[in-house]
């Protein structure tokens, strides 16, 4: 099976819409990347689920994930649309299932639903959400996934948990895809999160470099074996947060921030930095590790040229 490629659409969280002062134009810049990705035959486009910029909260624009997904569903026609990943804590899971079902209908069945336990404490506090400990956040995720699947498969969803309860919730339309919208659970916790993937998910998302990916996928396979789940029924994805591609190594490095250039060796181990030839070699390593889809954030995505170069030299080469 050929490797699939997706793109993180710039939405502001990583300071990738800085300099576009008109918020309407900022959205159009975001949409242009999505439409260009579709025209270049990328498999998917993805959004983060965050509310203000990193590494430091600023007044720069950051578009909300799910309303943006709905808009991009109508701006595109073929490319799949997902989240890496929705923070479970930010929305009631029954409502979230309803939102996702609506977006799946708006996109004619192109949604990939990504969810995780949440981690960004500063953002929780800023927006008035309680920030439970890791154990509780994972317990909440476990319950939420069951609620969401019930909302997608039952005529009147019922679930009684410690944190969430639904009692005869009707969700129409349930979306277009059958038997339900594909569910991706993001995260790498070996005892809980990857077991949840084996129990419930259609896809996983793991990262941190090749060695870490191999370890996490081995753990996932072990969970699958113990549960009687076909490991190969789970789509294996990874997110590469930084891709700087150019005709020469020097041009690629020049696209990075000063902080990134100061940590270049570390960035090379988890990112895609350099010429198309260098990046093709790195992509082959991810494929050999078992990854089936790579989702990439281009550091200069709004300029479009890097996306075009990657599509021409890395997706279509050979």
Domain boundaries, the chain: 4-240
pLDDT of residue 275: 97
pLDDT of residue 317: 59
CATH number for 4-240 (one of 3.20.20.30, 3.10.20.30, 1.10.10.60, 4.10.80.40): it is 3.20.20.30
pLDDT of residue 169: 98
Which residues fall within 8 angstroms of residue 284, CB to CB, at 6 or more apart?
Answer: none
Question: Is cis: bond before 173, omega within 30 of 0?
Answer: yes
Which residues fall within 8 angstroms of residue 221, CB to CB, at 6 or more apart?
Answer: 231
pLDDT digits (tens, 9 = 90+) for 49-93: 999 999 899 999 999 999 999 999 999 999 999 999 999 999 999
How far, in Å, CA of 137 to CA of 195, rounded? 15
Burial of residue 102 (CB within 10 Å: 0-12, 13-18, 19+) is middle
Q: Say yes or no to pLDDT of 30 above 70.
A: yes
Burial of residue 212 (CB within 10 Å: 0-12, 13-18, 19+) is middle
Return the percentage of the chain with pLDDT > 90, whole number.
95
pLDDT digits (tens, 9 = 90+) for 109-150: 999 999 999 999 999 999 999 999 999 999 999 999 999 999
How far, in Å, CA of 102 to CA of 171, rounded? 10
User: Nearest 5°: CA angle at 16, between 10 and 22?
Assistant: 90
Return the percentage of the chain with pLDDT > 70, whole number.
99
């Amino acid at each position: 099976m050929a490797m699939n490629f997706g793109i993180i659409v710039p939405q502001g969280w990583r300071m990738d819409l800085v300099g576009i002062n008109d918020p309407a134009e900022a959205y159009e810049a975001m949409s242009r990347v999505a439409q260009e990705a579709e025209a270049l035959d990328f498999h998917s486009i993805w959004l983060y689920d965050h509310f203000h910029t990193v590494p430091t909260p600023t007044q720069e624009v950051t578009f909300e994930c799910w309303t943006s997904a709905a808009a991009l569903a109508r701006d595109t026609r073929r490319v799949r649309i997902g989240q890496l990943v929705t923070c479970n804590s930010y929305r009631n899971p029954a409502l979230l299932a309803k939102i996702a079902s609506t977006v799946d209908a708006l996109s004619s069945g192109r949604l990939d639903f990504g969810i995780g336990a949440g981690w960004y404490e500063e953002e929780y506090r800023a927006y008035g959400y309680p920030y439970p400990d890791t154990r509780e956040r994972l317990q909440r995720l476990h319950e939420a996934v069951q609620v969401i699947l019930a909302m997608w498969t039952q005529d009147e969803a019922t679930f009684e948990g410690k944190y969430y309860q639904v009692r005869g919730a009707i969700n129409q339309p349930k979306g277009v895809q059958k038997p339900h919208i594909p569910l991706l659970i993001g995260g790498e916790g070996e005892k809980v999160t990857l077991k949840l993937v084996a129990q419930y998910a259609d896809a996983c998302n793991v990262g941190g470099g090749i060695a870490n990916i191999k370890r996490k996928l081995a753990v996932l396979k072990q969970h699958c074996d113990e549960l009687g789940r076909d490991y190969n029924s789970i789509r294996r994805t990874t997110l590469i947060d930084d891709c700087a591609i150019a005709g020469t190594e020097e041009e690629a490095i020049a696209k990075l921030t000063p902080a990134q250039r100061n940590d270049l060796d570390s960035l090379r181990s988890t990112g895609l930095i350099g010429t198309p030839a260098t990046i093709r070699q790195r992509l082959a390593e991810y494929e050999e590790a078992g990854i089936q889809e790579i989702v990439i954030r281009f550091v200069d995505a709004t300029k479009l040229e890097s996306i075009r170069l990657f599509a021409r030299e890395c997706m279509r080469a050979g």
